[in-house]
Structure 1
Amino acid sequence: MFKKLFGKKEDAPTTVSIYSPLSGNLLPLEQVPDPVFSQKMMGDGLAVEPTDGKVVSPIEGEVMQVFPTKHAVGLKSKNGAEVLIHIGLETVSMEGKGFEAHVSEGSKVSVGDPLITFDMELVKEKAKSTITPVIVTNGDDLGTLEKKQEESVAAGQSEIMTVSAK
């Protein structure tokens, strides 16, 4: 699969920057009020408390999955890092209401490309929180994950993590 996506393995970068997919305030994953994320059951990463409803690609790569409810999207970077963006907490129960996907499975994306837009007010009303975890789900297959300590981040502009290949 890797060869099919990106040519020879040597063509893949060894370290990939992951940018914030949303504008807002950056939070340690441990502060997310959901144990699935705060206890890193899905992987390590950070979270963003968004200031608007625009989600952009944090990496250059490919869309692996857009959840049917459009509340989450999975991406794969050129070095193999798999990134999950889960918009809000307990948003799956909204059944896609208030979410619009701008990509589909197999879409190639660059940093800053629109992925999903969502109605912030509706999420605030219907879900537990707008806090959006950004998770590297296959960290065990990769090398070092370094997280930034910024407070305020801009979508597609603020580097929040770097991850290296093994």
Structure 2
Amino acid sequence: MLKKLFGKKEEAPKTVNAVAPLTGNVKSLEEVPDPVFSQKMMGDGIAIDPTIGKVVSPVDGEIMQLFPTKHAVGIKAKNGAEILIHIGLETVSMNGEGFEAHISEGSKVSIGDPLITYDLELVKEKAKSTITPIIITNGDDMGDLVKKDVTSVTAGQEEVLEISSK
């Protein structure tokens, strides 16, 4: 009876297409100079070597986690996929210097919404690498992960991943 009153609950999509969260060159995770990412210990995905210090939402969803140092953000897509965007390598040691968040935990986001801006030159100077892994951290709970065949991407434009739920 309540369903009739309040309408049908919106059904979660089975497949979500994630767009590039950064502008730059797409790399395989195996090319990331950090074994945690290159050996897929946290999950599968791709990496982007950025040319601009701006991260946008790759999917419609909700911010699950914003690290206090603003170097990484976790997003839950509408199909349940949990996406971690980790800006650069060993950037946690920068303690947030040069990073600015435009969202907070619990924020609802749409594709292309600005998440974090950062000083790319400062990251080049202070971190091990600017390469940014984009990881599906709950891949075991998801279905197929298709990596699109793209090399150069613009934030919020090209699709880079197709993530299906089981």
For normalisation by structure 2, the TM-score amounts to 0.94
Shift of 1:19: 0.8
The answer for the alignment partner of 1:14 in structure 2 is 14
2:4 is matched with which residue? none
Q: Distance in 2 between matches of 1:90 and 1:19?
A: 25
SS of the residue aligned with 1:150? Answer: coil
Q: Which residue of 1 aligns with 2:3?
A: none
Aligned length: 159
The structural deviation recorded for 1:148 is 1.1
> For residues 83 and 148 of structure 1, what CA distance do their matches in structure 2 show?
16
Distance (Å, rounded) in 2 between the aligned partners of 1:158 and 1:91: 26
The alignment's C-alpha RMSD in Å is 1.0
What SS class does the counterpart of residue 11 from structure 1 fall into? coil
- 2:23 corresponds to which residue? 23
Structure-1 separation of matches of 2:138 and 2:33: 22
SS in 1 for 2:135: strand
Query: Hey, what's the Cα distance between the residues in 1 that align with 2:55 and 2:35?
Result: 23
**Distance (whole Å) between structure 2 residues aligned to residue 34 and residue 149 of structure 1:** 23
User: Given the alignment of the two structures, is residue 83 of structure 1 paired with residue 73 of structure 2, yes or no?
Assistant: no
Q: Which ranges in structure 1 are unaligned for 5 or more consecutive residues?
A: 1-6
Q: CA deviation at 1:149?
A: 2.0
Deviation track 1:102-159 (CA, whole Å, cap 9, x = no partner) reads: 0000000000000000000100000001000000000000100000121100101110
Question: What is the distance in 2 between the residues matched to 1:109 and 1:25?
Answer: 24
Query: Pairwise mapping of residues 22-101 of structure 1 onto structure 2 (< 5 A)?
Result: 22-101=22-101
Provide the residue aligned with 2:114 in structure 1: 114
Partner of 1:158: 158
1:126-137 counterparts in 2 under 5 A?
126-137=126-137
In 1: Cα distance, 2:40 partner to 2:27 partner: 14
- Deviation at 1:96? 0.3
Q: Find the aligned partners of 2:35 and 2:15 in 1 and give their Cα distance.
A: 29
Q: Which runs of no fewer than 5 residues in structure 2 stay unpaired?
A: 1-7
Partner AA of 1:85 in structure 2:
I
Q: Which amino acid aligns with 1:114?
A: P
Q: TM-score, normalised by structure 1?
A: 0.94
Structure 2 residue matching 1:96: 3-state secondary structure: coil
- Secondary structure of 2:156's match? coil
The CA distance in 1 between the partners of 2:75 and 2:106, in whole Å, is: 9
Residue 126 of structure 2 aligns with an amino acid whose one-letter code is K
Q: Equivalent residue for 1:4?
A: none
CA distance in 1, matches of 2:125, 2:165: 40
Task: Among all aligned residue pairs of Structure 1 and Structure 2, give the percentage whose two residues are the same amino acid.
Answer: 72
